[in-house]
Structure 1
Amino acid sequence: MTEFVLVPGAWLGAWAWAEVAPALRTAGHGALPLTLGGLAERGGESAGQQDHVADIVGAVERLDLRDVVLVGHSYSGIPVGQAAERIGGRLRRVVYVDATVPVDGQSFVDSWPGGRALVEPALAGHDGRWPPPAAADYAGQGLDAESVERLVVGGTPHPGATLTEPARLSHPAGGLPATYVKCLLDGDEPPAPAAEPLAAGRWRMVRLETGHWPMLSAPAELARVLLEAAEES
């Protein structure tokens, strides 16, 4: 039995996986959606990036999970990729869902052009937190009106330190087995750190004809991809 640990991206909590986790359990696997510190029901907590890594590692170790597939969506690829090397032999595979891939010494905002110039003023104007998108910002991502409302209502300001602090890796993330899920409504190409392991055949690429939040826009398709990833050697 594979244990899926499902980590949502910026602004979101464990609730974002509500339509994916049941499909994984029905297939006979474990599914643990996580809420990271400072978000959703944990919104009163302060958190830095290493706190988010510790949230993931701590859950795996506390529950003594084995044969783990760590799933990181968007921002959470950064802490998931770091947690993956820290859980050692418990790891089966990483799945990056339209996610940022961590690079030692680089932060989330370093990973995309103009990131600091875009994010840091927003943090300064909102008590060090990144405000969630408005409904209009979800346009063109394959989401129906109900899903957009869930994102707007459920989204919480994201703790800024997790976005600006650098990742800490002993080895490049590309050395661990992984699947990269590219959501095509959000662009055709994965981030640069994924290019080499994909080209070398160490990682598998899956393309989905949906937007950046596939757990809401295409939950059945995403669950199928995750189940396939669990079968990868």
Structure 2
Amino acid sequence: MTQFVLVAGAWLGSWAWDEVVPELRAAGHGAHALTLSGLAGKQGVPAGQQTHVQDIVGEIERLDLRDVVLVGHSYSGIPVGQAAEYIGDRLAHVVFVDSNVPADGGSFLSAWPSGRAMVEASMAANDGCWAPLTAADYEGQGLTDEQIARIVAGSTPHPGATLSEPAVLARPLGELPATYIKCLLDGAEPTDDVAELLKSERWRLVEMDTGHWPMFSQPGELARILLQCAGAS
């Protein structure tokens, strides 16, 4: 039985996977959605990026999970990619859902120079946290008004230290067995760093005709792809 460990991106908690988890469990697998420190029900818990890495590793070890398909969405691809190294032979496959990927010594902000000033301004105005998006920011991403309202209502400020701390990788990320899911409404092509990783024979690309939050816009289709990834492992 595959054990899926699901980690959502900035501003979100485990609740973001509420429509995906039942699909995975109905197929006979384990599914564990995580809330990272400082977010959702863990607001106020101090958190840097390495805290988030340890959140993921710690949960996998606490539950003694094996045959793990580790899933990272958006920002969380950075801690997920690092955690995948730490869990060793517990790992079956990594899935990056329209996500950032870690680079040794690099951070979320260093990899997004065009957005850095905007994020840092938000952090300066919000006690060191990146303020959640507004409803208007979700337009054009394949979401209904109801889905947008749900995301906005559930989002919490994202701890800024997680965005500026550098990633630490012991070996090339391309050596991991991985699938990258590209959501086409958020850009037709993967970023340059992802495109380079996709040259690895251990990585494959899957496209979804939806926006950056497929766990809300197309949860059934996302679950189907994740189940295929379990088979690929």
Query: Which TM bucket (shorter chain)?
Result: over 0.9
- Give the aligned partner of residue 48 of structure 2: 48
The residue type paired with residue 8 of structure 2 is P
The residue type paired with residue 18 of structure 2 is A
The residue type paired with residue 212 of structure 2 is H
> Normalised by the size of structure 2, how large is the TM-score?
0.98
2: CA distance between counterparts of 1:19 and 1:25?
11
- Give the aligned partner of residue 104 of structure 1: 104
Q: Secondary structure at the match of 2:51?
A: helix
The residue type paired with residue 14 of structure 2 is A
- Give the aligned partner of residue 60 of structure 1: 60
2: CA distance between counterparts of 1:53 and 1:134?
27
Q: Tell me by how many angstroms 1:195 deviates.
A: 1.6
The residue type paired with residue 29 of structure 1 is H
2: CA distance between counterparts of 1:83 and 1:130?
23
Conserved 8 A contact 1:82-1:169: yes
Q: Residues 166-198 of structure 1, C-alpha deviation per residue, up to 9 Å, x if partnerless?
A: 001111211101000000000012222222331
1:230 aligned to 2:230? Answer: yes
- Give the aligned partner of residue 27 of structure 1: 27
- Give the aligned partner of residue 69 of structure 2: 69
Q: Residues 204-233 of structure 1, C-alpha deviation per residue, up to 9 Å, x if partnerless?
A: 100000000000000000000000001114
Q: Tell me by how many angstroms 1:146 deviates.
A: 1.0
1: CA distance between counterparts of 2:38 and 2:128?
12
Task: Identify unmatched segments of 5+ residues in structure 2.
Answer: none
1: CA distance between counterparts of 2:58 and 2:86?
10
How many residues are treated as equivalent by the alignment? 233
1: CA distance between counterparts of 2:148 and 2:114?
26
2: CA distance between counterparts of 1:12 and 1:200?
30
> Normalised by the size of structure 1, how large is the TM-score?
0.98
Conserved 8 A contact 2:174-2:200: no
- Give the aligned partner of residue 5 of structure 1: 5
Conserved 8 A contact 2:14-2:33: yes
% identical aligned pairs? 66
